[in-house]
Amino acid sequence: MKKTILFLGLLIAFSQLLIAQPTGYYNGCEGKDGAVLKAALHGVIKGHVEYSYTDVWNILQQSDEDPSNPGNIMLIYTGRSQDKYFRDRGTSFDYAAAGYTLSDAWNREHVWAKSHGDFGTEPPAGCDAHNLKPVDRTVNTSRYNKDFAEGGTPNVEATECNSTSSSWEPRDAVKGDVARIIFYMATRYEGENGEPDLEAVDKVNTYPLAEHGKLSDLLKWNEQDPPDDFERNRNNVIYTWQKNRNPFIDHPEFVNLIWGTGISNNILISNIELTPLKPTPEDPIKISANISSDEGTISASIAWGTSYEQVSSTIDMSENESVFSGTIPAQPEGTTIYYKINATNGTDAASSFTYSFKITVPFAGTLTSIYDIQGQTNISPMADRIVVSPNSTQELGYGEVSTSGIVTGVFGTSFYIQSGTGAWNGVYVYDSGYSPSLGDSVIITAIVSEFYELTEMCDLTYYSVVSSNNPLPQATEVTTKALATGNADAEQYEGVLVKVQSASCTEELGKYGLWKVNDGSGECYIHNPTTFSFSPTVANVYDITGIATYNYNESKIDIRTIDDVVESQDIFAPTVRNFLVADGNSIKIDFNEELNTTTAIDTLNYVINNGVKVTNVSIVGFTNTSVKISVTGLTVGDYNLVINGVEDLAGNAMDNVSVDFHSECTGINDINSDMLKVFPNPVNNNILNISSVNNIKKVEISNIAGQIVYRNQYFNEKNIVINLDNITKGLYFTKIYTQDNEAVISKLIIN
């Protein structure tokens, strides 16, 4: 419950965003039109931070929040405001008690229909939050993948929307919103790096082409329904997540310059700069820009104010070699200033984009190092609360702590910060309400919580970016064993940027984005973020960089981007993963990687003590990662196996690797005695009989790969019958446990 309550609070806080683009965001786009402007904008907005289709639920709950009711969300086509948590999939919202029916739930509408270009719900295009809007699930079905155009009959539920068999006309209040989303998609996706190449066209019936229409109506809607505060706020919220903006919300005039008949002004305002970049209440703010014109004498001024709609204060700019500058007086802390530059040459006039900056709230507290917060123990000495289960929270009342660090990993509004390098110098910041960038130097004030053994900072009351684009701390090189679940050494690296080298993948990608690697010292988990899914290849070798963390009772490395995983050269010898004494005549060994066959089947490379002789070694299965060792002289007792000279495919050889093991096995020829009988063997009619002088407790049957195909427990039974109808013919092993807890293993052939 704690996490849910916090998140709702942050959603409310996020809704207060209403800022323009940061200074210089569109630098390089000034004075351009047509395809040149479109290409320049593409360069600005491409390569955004990607999130999964699941993550978009959370983003939309913030971006499309009802400004008059923060607990609700606005649905695009009906205009209905309804509870954020009444949506498809994943919530337990009691819609009936709230007066809804299930068909009223909201889901995610791809405004540019995902079938127009066949990009599905995978990143980047299928999960781009700029293209996704909350919509009534029934209306979403009605709109389907139709192009946008005027005309048709009213929709039954979204009565202000019209449709035909090939087109959908949204209600008047969002026509411009829809148009600007289509223009964004046509600019963001130009066919690079395997992405779709999308085009806005002046027709309908465009499915399944990577096109969307109808251009002439979209151009008209952009003019008729200009951006409002709701749309601008949505743009700002998505920017905090994806780090890219919809330029046609910031500058709807771009639409006509690219797709219409507009031409750029011959007055060029470019290279706008803000000094200082992060002003404090004591700082006057200098605005400078290059301004040029083909004719006339230029004069320029800064229009500024504390509202996007009201930039009514004016400051004249002075000129020095085509660089114009002016100074806005110092402003109170926390104030957001909006400004633009107006210029004229006596004949023509031009205005820059509207930019904004916020006056920093100075930090006045005392900073505590992350090292001291971690405290070199499992539990932070500054923990305000300890959560060990949904129903068990210990409140310690330590209070708030302030610290600083460089952002090393960003996962939505949660992130990691680190101060310095090495152990105990990193910490996780949970659901901060902010989405910083890698390399930001930040100061935060928050409480420290131990959440299921993970030290985290949460409930932020102060957040400030001191500087940006700082180099990240050097990743601490660790072994995979150091981060193995259950290893006490893993605690010191919690929240720290780490790197493992030459680690072989030992387990393919499974549930929850987890896979395993081993550098020869032991296995550890790697965790894919929700923003992308890296699919490793078993036995391939990787260098992996990421954040060491702990959750769901597992230590792991959180990788941040695809660049965190690099294929590497194998420099480590094979290691033993599993060891099974199959019976009195054979041993099965699983290794962590593929073996060189010649060395793997060489009997001289395996030595067992106490008079046991290795008579043969063979490869088991098709992956060259397992061997079966045939032996003689193995009875009940303790033994030691030494493996020497077994190589992997890279030529790395095992050097006197010692494995201690215990054998409870008797040979196949001893099993059918007066004490215990297994018959018939071979089994020809799918019926197996087991008879024992002692009571039988459990029977297991496994195949040659060690997989159990039958298991059952018994109570005070000495004669049992097993039906083998569902087991295919082949060689198996029976393992029979009797009342004295001894296990007897024998070969079993099923015909």
Do both 204 and 236 map to the same domain? Answer: yes
Sign of the Cα torsion 202, 207, 211, 213 reads positive
Do both 247 and 274 map to the same domain? Answer: no
- The reply to whether 15 falls in a domain is no
CA angle 696, 701, 704 (to 5 degrees): 145
Q: Which helix (H) or strand (E) holds 39?
A: helix 34-45
Tokens found for residue 112 = 């540019």
Q: What is the separation of C-alpha 360 from the centre of its chain, rounded to a whole number of angstroms? A: 30
| Backbone conformation region of residue 207, classed left if phi is above 0, alpha if psi is from -120 to 50, else beta | beta
| Backbone conformation region of residue 153, classed left if phi is above 0, alpha if psi is from -120 to 50, else beta | beta
Q: Are strands 199-200 and 167-169 parallel, antiparallel or unpaired?
A: unpaired
Residue ending a domain, choose from 504, 538, 567: 567
CATH number at residue 516: 2.40.50.200
Q: What is the pLDDT of residue 55?
A: 82
- CA-closest candidate to residue 293, choices 319, 267, 259, 270: 267
- The reply to whether 12 falls in a domain is no
- The reply to whether 487 falls in a domain is yes
Q: Which residue has the higher pLDDT, 44 or 716?
A: 44
- Look up residue 471 and give its DSSP letter: P
Helices H, strands E: what count in the chain?
11, 47
- The reply to whether 13 falls in a domain is no
Could you read off the pLDDT of 163-211 as tens digits, one per residue?
A: 999 999 999 999 999 999 999 999 999 999 999 999 999 999 999 999 9
Do both 153 and 191 map to the same domain? Answer: yes
Q: Which residue has the higher pLDDT, 387 or 375?
A: 375
d(CA 473, CA 477): 12
- The reply to whether 497 falls in a domain is yes
Beta strands in 214-335 (DSSP E): 267-275, 285-293, 299-305, 313-316, 318-320, 323-328
Model confidence at 360: pLDDT above 60: yes
Q: How far apart, in Å, are the Cα atoms of 90 and each of 7, 82, 107, 257? A: 15, 17, 11, 43
Q: What is the pLDDT of residue 736?
A: 84
Model confidence at 669: pLDDT above 70: no
Model confidence at 524: pLDDT above 80: yes
CATH number at residue 462: 2.40.50.140
Reported as a pLDDT band with limits 50, 70 and 90, residue 44 is: very high
| Across 373-381, average pLDDT | 92
Q: What is the pLDDT of residue 673?
A: 56
Do both 212 and 135 map to the same domain? Answer: yes
Range among 384-388, 687-691, 706-710 with highest mean pLDDT value: 687-691
Residue 750: CA count within 13 A, CB half-sphere: 22
User: Tokens 């992308």 label which residue?
Assistant: 532
Do both 54 and 186 map to the same domain? Answer: yes
What are residue 745's DSSP bridge partners?
Answer: 735
Residue ending a domain, choose from 326, 358, 390: 358
Reported as a pLDDT band with limits 50, 70 and 90, residue 396 is: confident
Q: What is the pLDDT of residue 74?
A: 97
Do both 510 and 528 map to the same domain? Answer: yes
- CA-closest candidate to residue 171, choices 247, 75, 97: 75
CATH number at residue 272: 2.60.40.10
Reported as a pLDDT band with limits 50, 70 and 90, residue 96 is: confident
Q: 0.85 cut: is pTM over it?
A: no
User: Tokens 């935060």 label which residue?
Assistant: 444
CATH number at residue 742: 2.60.40.3080
Q: What is the pLDDT of residue 674?
A: 61
d(CA 67, CA 51): 25
Reported as a pLDDT band with limits 50, 70 and 90, residue 217 is: very high
| Backbone conformation region of residue 469, classed left if phi is above 0, alpha if psi is from -120 to 50, else beta | left
Q: What is the pLDDT of residue 568?
A: 87
Residue ending a domain, choose from 228, 259, 290: 259
Number of domains composing the chain: 6
Helices (H), 604-677: none
Do both 145 and 92 map to the same domain? Answer: yes
Sign of the Cα torsion 272, 276, 281, 282 reads negative
- CA-closest candidate to residue 747, choices 641, 650, 640, 672: 672
Coil/strand/helix, residue 668: helix
With beta carbons less than 8 A apart as the criterion, state whether 161 and 170 touch: yes
State the amino acid at position 228 in one-letter form: D
Do both 580 and 541 map to the same domain? Answer: no
DSSP 711-725: EEEEEEEEEEEEE-T
User: Tokens 């803000």 label which residue?
Assistant: 274
Model confidence at 686: pLDDT above 50: yes
With beta carbons less than 8 A apart as the criterion, state whether 702 and 732 touch: yes
Do both 601 and 558 map to the same domain? Answer: no
| Across 587-606, average pLDDT | 92
Reported as a pLDDT band with limits 50, 70 and 90, residue 6 is: very low
CATH number at residue 636: 2.60.40.1220
- The reply to whether 43 falls in a domain is yes
Tokens found for residue 175 = 């026509």
Q: What is the pLDDT of residue 20?
A: 57
d(CA 301, CA 508): 61
What are residue 109's DSSP bridge partners?
Answer: 133
- Range(s) of the domain holding residue 385: 370-467
CA angle 414, 419, 420 (to 5 degrees): 140
Q: What is the pLDDT of residue 745?
A: 73
Reported as a pLDDT band with limits 50, 70 and 90, residue 16 is: very low
Do both 65 and 172 map to the same domain? Answer: yes
Do both 746 and 641 map to the same domain? Answer: no
d(CA 400, CA 460): 9
For the chain, what's the residue count?
Answer: 751
d(CA 557, CA 517): 10
- The reply to whether 364 falls in a domain is no
Burial class of residue 139, CB neighbours in 10 A (0-12, 13-18, 19+): buried
Do both 615 and 647 map to the same domain? Answer: yes
Mean of pLDDT over the chain: 88
Q: What is the pLDDT of residue 583?
A: 66
d(CA 393, CA 5): 15
Beta strands in 584-649 (DSSP E): 586-591, 606-608, 613-620, 626-632, 637-643
Reported as a pLDDT band with limits 50, 70 and 90, residue 137 is: very high
- The reply to whether 537 falls in a domain is yes
Q: Which residue has the higher pLDDT, 298 or 636?
A: 298
- CA-closest candidate to residue 27, choices 15, 16, 38, 40: 40
